[in-house]
Chain A
Amino acid sequence: MIEVKNLTKKYGRRRVLENVSFTAEKGQITCLIGINGVGKTTTLKAIMGLTPYKSGTILIDDEPLTKTSYEKITFIPDAAIMPPSMTIRDAFEFMKDFYGSWNSARAEELLAFFKLKEEFRIAELSKGNIAKINLLMGLAIDVDYLLMDEPFSGIDIFSREQIADVFTSHLIEDRGVIITTHEINDIEHLIDKVILLDNGSVLKEFYTEEMRSEHGKSVIDVMREVYRA
């Protein structure tokens, strides 16, 4: 489990995160939603130790971020990770050298799943295909937790569907996944848990199926209530 407790961060005098607390379980997909402003990406970066924060605690399987716990997590940003001149094959070779836990068979499987070819150059990939390659890179490293920044944003509908298909397939295994998004349309059925952020604070944290069972509300219904209040 990833536990974020009272995370507070400032950029100069501006408060970016204020007392942010939530948990994300292994084997579940947790979705950080924020319709505007900063907070989502900063939270992911703080979990990865990529940005300093003023106060708060972040625990991964009950441990603070250390060299060992760092190996349990990958972060997938929303831009191309690899240099544009590389082919996908080059990128795989690079990853293999860089990560001891790189799983070549998994990488090949995902490449076939996405119907992409090794000889494609990163520079030539569409935004949708970049998103697929990023997801592939993240899943081909054997880790317990996957943090993904906006995997569904700004890409064509078919790429969205293909990426969504990965989330419902065996390829995701029982990883704990945290994704950020500002739109929830057509991924409501994929996610276990929702954290609604606004202006750096958590407004609500809930399980989607519980919300449907107990209150008959969709994620969008709850977003309407919370953000329009």
Chain B
Amino acid sequence: MEITFNNRDPVYLQVVRYFKEQIAIGNLTAGQEISSRRELAGLLKINPNTAQKAYKEMEEQGLITTERNFPSRITTDEKILNSVREELILEAVSSFIASVRPINVPLEELIKMVSEKYSQPEE
């Protein structure tokens, strides 16, 4: 488990994002038990208070649920889990558009390039 953190975005939000990616990829699944806050701080080498804040944020967003004296788990709410995938894809598409827009590529050409690239195996 490793994240390369940037120093300008809040670390707790970068941790939340990491969990969202793991959910979208399918590495974390509905109802799965996750590490304790302490363990997470150790694994990601972050301040334990930051790990705590990330868990609090995920609880508020409904991504994880915690019952008293039990380990936290990924939510079983399919609606939330699906929205995570959608959110990440939309974000990636938006940032892609933001970076190509200044180059003024006609949309059709762009789509053609994307679909060609996308079907090629990853280098």
Residues of chain A within 8 A (CB-CB) of B84 are none
Cβ-defined contact, B46 with A27, below 8 A: no
- Per-residue CB contact flags for chain A residues 139-160 toward chain B (1 = under 8 Å, else 0) read 0000000000000000000000
Tell me if A221 is interfacial: C-beta within 8 Å of chain B.
yes
Residues of chain A within 8 A (CB-CB) of B47 are 29, 167-168, 189-192
Q: Which of A28, A168, A172, A219 contacts B46 (CB 8 A)?
A: A168
Tell me if B50 is interfacial: C-beta within 8 Å of chain A.
yes
- Per-residue CB contact flags for chain A residues 155-179 toward chain B (1 = under 8 Å, else 0) read 0000000001101111010000000
In the assembled complex, the Cα of A141 lies from the Cα of B28 at a distance in Å of: 40
Cβ-defined contact, B8 with A189, below 8 A: no
Tell me if A203 is interfacial: C-beta within 8 Å of chain B.
no
Most buried by B among A170, A189, A218: A189
Cβ-defined contact, A219 with B42, below 8 A: no
Cβ-defined contact, B41 with A218, below 8 A: no
In the assembled complex, the Cα of A220 lies from the Cα of B6 at a distance in Å of: 12
Binds A, one of B9-17, B72-80, B93-101, B109-117: B9-17
Residues of chain A within 8 A (CB-CB) of B49 are 27-28, 192
Distance from A206 Cβ to chain B, minimum over Cβ atoms (Å)? 13
> Which secondary structure dominates chain B's binding surface?
helix
Residues of chain A within 8 A (CB-CB) of B9 are 212, 216
Residues of chain B within 8 A (CB-CB) of A28 are 49
Tell me if B69 is interfacial: C-beta within 8 Å of chain A.
no
Tell me if B53 is interfacial: C-beta within 8 Å of chain A.
yes
Distance from B68 Cβ to chain A, minimum over Cβ atoms (Å)? 20
Residues of chain B within 8 A (CB-CB) of A167 are 47
Residues of chain A within 8 A (CB-CB) of B50 are 189, 209
Residues of chain B within 8 A (CB-CB) of A165 are 42, 45
Distance from B87 Cβ to chain A, minimum over Cβ atoms (Å)? 19
Tell me if B7 is interfacial: C-beta within 8 Å of chain A.
yes
Distance from B109 Cβ to chain A, minimum over Cβ atoms (Å)? 34
Cβ-defined contact, A209 with B11, below 8 A: yes
Most buried by A among B5, B41, B48: B48
* Interface hits, A91-113 → B, CB 8 Å: none
User: Which residues does B use to contact A, with CB under 8 Å?
Assistant: 5, 7-13, 38, 41-42, 44-50, 53
Can you offer 30 A-B residue contacts whose CB atoms are under 8 A? Answer: A29-B47, A168-B41, A168-B42, A168-B44, A168-B45, A168-B46, A169-B41, A169-B42, A172-B48, A189-B5, A189-B11, A189-B45, A189-B47, A189-B50, A190-B47, A192-B49, A209-B11, A209-B12, A209-B50, A209-B53, A212-B7, A212-B9, A212-B10, A212-B11, A213-B10, A216-B9, A217-B8, A220-B7, A221-B7, A221-B8
14 additional A-B pairs beyond A165-B45, A189-B46, beta carbons within 8 Å, are A168-B44, A168-B47, A168-B48, A169-B41, A188-B7, A190-B46, A192-B47, A209-B10, A209-B53, A213-B10, A216-B8, A219-B7, A221-B7, A221-B8
Q: Which 3 A-B pairs have the closest CB atoms?
A: A218-B7, A212-B10, A213-B10
